[in-house]
Structure formats: C-alpha cells, structure tokens
Amino acid sequence: MIKILQVRNIDSFVESRRQKTSEKDRKTVQTILNDVRKNGDSAVKKYERKFNGRNTSQLRVSEKEIKEARSKISRGKWHGLEVMSSILHYEESMFLQGFSNPKNWKGKSAKTSFVSIPSVGCYIPGGQARYPSSVVMSVKPAKIAGVKRIVVVSPPGRDGKIDPLTIWAAKDMGATEIYKVGGAQAIGALAYGTKSIPKVDKIVGPGGKFVSIAKSLVSDQTAIDMIAGPTELGIIADASSDPELIALDLISQAEHSKDTMCFVITQSKTMAKQIQKSIEKLIPGTERSSIIKESISKNGFIAVCKNENEMIGLANEIAPEHMELMVKNAKTLSKKITGAGLLLIGKNTPSSASDYLLGTNHILPTNGFGRTRGGLSVLDFLKLQTVIESKKSGLRKISKSLKVLTDAEDLPNHYKAVKRRLD
C-alpha cells in the first residue's frame, strides 16, 4: 500500500516525488482561460456543463438561495464555524497592532501604513468534499483587512447548488458576492471578468490541479496568494512514535482527494514497517476509503534516512504544506525545520486540528513553496503604503552623495532633477 523507500540522494529523491504539471494539463487550462477571456459567461457555463454536467442559468447565488441555505443549517454546525471564526479573528488581528511608524529625520518625514486591497476573489473547493471552513479561512482575514469587495466562487453539487453551510458561511463572514462556478473557468472569470462576474484584484484560496495551474497562468496580470494545490502532510517519526497515530494522521489528510501527498520521514526501518502495517489495518474500515487508498498508494511514501541531518535536509527540501514532528526532541528539531508551510510540534498537535481550531490558517503553500512563504493571513489582503515628504533642506543634505551615485550608474538626469530644486 504505502511504499517504504531508502533515501540515497536528497535532490534526486525529492525530484522523483514532486508532483509535476503535465504539458497536456497546462494546455487544457490555457485553452479554458483563453475561452473565458474571449467569451465570458457563455464560456464559463460551457465548461461547467463539460466538466460537471450542470446547466447553470444564473451564476450568482441569489438572496433567496442564501436565505434557503440558512434555513437548512443546524445550530451545532453553525456554532462550530463561529468558534473557528472567533479564534481566527483573534490571531489575525494581532498582525495589525502597533504597525504605524512615522519617522522624521534630516528634513524628511515618512510614514508606512497598511492599505487594503480593493477586491479579492476567494476560491472555495467543492467536488469530492465541502469546505465551509475554507470560507472562514479566506473571507474572515479579508474582512479584517478591510477589503470592500469580497467575492466567493465555489463549484455547485449535482443539484446545481452550493452546499448550504458554505453559502451561509460566505454571507456571514462578509462576502459581498457568491457565484456557483468552479475549476479553471472560475479563476478565469475572476482574473478577466465576465458580464456576471466582474474581475478582482487578487485571487486566493486552495484548489485542485486545474485551479492551481490556472492561478499560475493568470498571475501575470492578477495577483495571487500562492500555489495552494492538493493537500500535503509530512511526518517526522522516530522509534518512540506511535505508529497508529501517524497512520491516522496520514489517513485524515489523504481523505481530501486522490492527489493528496502524505509521507513519513524516519531513521527507523522498524517504525517504517509498523506504520505501513497500521495503515493497511486501518484503511479497509475507514470512511472515504477508496479515495484514501488511491491517494496513499499513488503519492504516499515512508522515506528511511541514514541520520537526523538527512531527515532535516529532506524535510526542508520537500517543504510540505504541513509538517508534524512526532519525535522525542520535537521542540529542538523544530528549530531546524524551515521549509514547512505549517509546523506542528508533538503528538497532540495533529494537522486535522490545525485545519479547524488551533488558530492557524489552513490555506497553505504546496509543491515546495513552503520554502519561501507561510500560510494565508490578513497580510495577504493588505499592501504597504509608504508616504514620504522631503523639504529643500533634506534634499540639500543628500545632494553630494546622490551626485556620486547617479554618476556611478550613468544616470545624470536623476541628479539634474534634484539640482534644479536647489539652485
């Protein structure tokens, strides 16, 4: 079921395990985007029919549909989302405290502050599962940031409707528009605009293979948060680890989709075999077992390393979305792990809990991008705005050094523009 692999060379090992974008898929997505850009709503509806077998007459979710969705939600389910929202609100708001930093020096004054992005599109996956939690994780930070126009897009189910909890979560968290569309066509609509779906300034949120490719392809003109594709979970284990807990954590993430990548890194061949046996024992009696089995068989692995340094090197190179440290020296080891999108320390910090109620955002970088950024946050919905004012005395103080620098770069007109103000 899950493969046990000996690591001999980190670079080649990572290259062999990295999920690659095929040229065929890239061309397919580019065709969809070009069509949406040219034909707008008609192209969006065409691809909804083609990929999802649904005829959609009205793309936007109406107020009637929102009220209908609210009536179908149990108090318990809504309370769970409210708890998630409250915890996330506290954590996200901390980013914004005490940032204003006006400075005055040598005839100049400068101030840097946050300015919210005017409009954002939040992609909420559908398909094989429903993700009202992703609504909270994307819309709530945007609302805290002060974004005026917050658009939610999500693929409808077979009945042509979005999951009621997803709809109401979007409405309650602060979305201004909700649309029944998914896949690359949704990303194209957000990036280029259609008659029904005006374009946005930035696109955020996780999605499948086509969504990730589409976000990458439109990023030359529409900002994106990150490549947040199929779920990834890595676990570092040692001889003290609980193989059944590890197996359960791998299964919990593998149930997302058949494209999920779940793996273990260890020095212990014995632990590797114990984890393998636990997975084989647990999967048959597990809900969503067909998805889990295919995901783990296709993308899962247990990497056996020679020593701790090799484990650390492999973990940082793969740079998974989630990385659990299920080892004795978890806190010490955590200081050496720099590549993970989210680092979870100890046996009582499972990634499944972080997906909901640990205060962290579950929209995280995948496919190695954890090496350069962390999870989605309120900062993704803000830009830094710097305002500076210089007096004549300030220009005079820097004029000699400025002349040296403009001469060094052979840009004489830069200095002339300053000198004229000082004459």
Q: How distant, in Å, are the alpha carbons of 24, 170, 230, 395 from that of 55?
A: 26, 23, 27, 64
Q: Could you give the percent of the chain with pLDDT greater than 70?
A: 97
Per-residue pLDDT at 100 exceeds 60: no
Per-residue pLDDT at 99 exceeds 70: no
The domain boundary residue, chosen from 175, 204, 224: 224
* In-domain check, residue 369: no
Same domain, 278 and 164: no
Whole-number pLDDT of residue 98 = 56
List, for residues 399-412, the tens digit of each pLDDT value.
999 999 999 999 99
Per-residue pLDDT at 187 exceeds 80: yes
Helices 183-192 and 41-52: angle between axes, nearest 10 degrees: 170
List, for residues 359-395, the tens digit of each pLDDT value.
999 999 999 999 999 999 999 999 988 889 999 999 9
Residue 206: give its domain's CATH number: 3.40.50.1980
Whole-number pLDDT of residue 56 = 81
Average pLDDT of the chain is 93
Contact 323, 340 (CB under 8 A): yes
* In-domain check, residue 384: no
* In-domain check, residue 371: no
Instruction: Give the separation between CA 346 and CA 21, rounded to whole angstroms.
Output: 34
The domain boundary residue, chosen from 224, 243, 266: 224
Same domain, 14 and 28: no
Taking residue 58's Cβ as centre, other Cβ atoms within 10 Å add up to: 12
- Count up the domains in the chain and report the number: 3
Q: Could you give the percent of the chain with pLDDT greater than 90?
A: 82
Same domain, 56 and 165: yes
* In-domain check, residue 386: no
Per-residue pLDDT at 252 exceeds 90: yes
Same domain, 56 and 12: no
Per-residue pLDDT at 101 exceeds 70: no
Same domain, 326 and 409: no
Instruction: Give the separation between CA 232 and CA 320, rounded to whole angstroms.
Output: 6
Same domain, 81 and 113: yes
Contact 318, 236 (CB under 8 A): no
Same domain, 304 and 411: no
Same domain, 311 and 404: no
Please tell me what DSSP assigns to residue 222.
S
Same domain, 79 and 189: yes
Residue 70's domain comprises: 23-224
Catalytic amino acids? 321-322
| Residue 63 neighbours by CB under 8 Å, 6+ apart | none
Contact 354, 303 (CB under 8 A): no
Dihedral in degrees, nearest 10, Cα atoms 77, 83, 84, 88: 160
Whole-number pLDDT of residue 102 = 65
Contact 301, 4 (CB under 8 A): yes
Of residues 168 and 98, more confidence is placed in 168
The tokens 């647990």 sit on which residue?
282
* In-domain check, residue 133: yes
* In-domain check, residue 214: yes
Please tell me what DSSP assigns to residue 60.
B
Same domain, 104 and 243: no
| Residue 132 neighbours by CB under 8 Å, 6+ apart | 81, 124, 163, 165, 166, 169
The tokens 């594709």 sit on which residue?
229
Same domain, 132 and 199: yes
Instruction: Give the separation between CA 395 and CA 400, rounded to whole angstroms.
Output: 10
Dihedral in degrees, nearest 10, Cα atoms 240, 245, 249, 255: 140
First-to-final CA distance of the chain: 79
* DSSP structure string for 285-345: GSTTHHHHHHHHHHH-EEEE-SSHHHHHHHHHHH--SEEEEESTTHHHHHTT--S-SEEEE
The domain boundary residue, chosen from 190, 224, 258: 224
Q: Which helix (H) or strand (E) holds 149?
A: strand 149-154
* In-domain check, residue 201: yes
Contact 179, 153 (CB under 8 A): yes
Same domain, 184 and 281: no
Whole-number pLDDT of residue 88 = 93
* In-domain check, residue 378: no
Per-residue pLDDT at 232 exceeds 60: yes
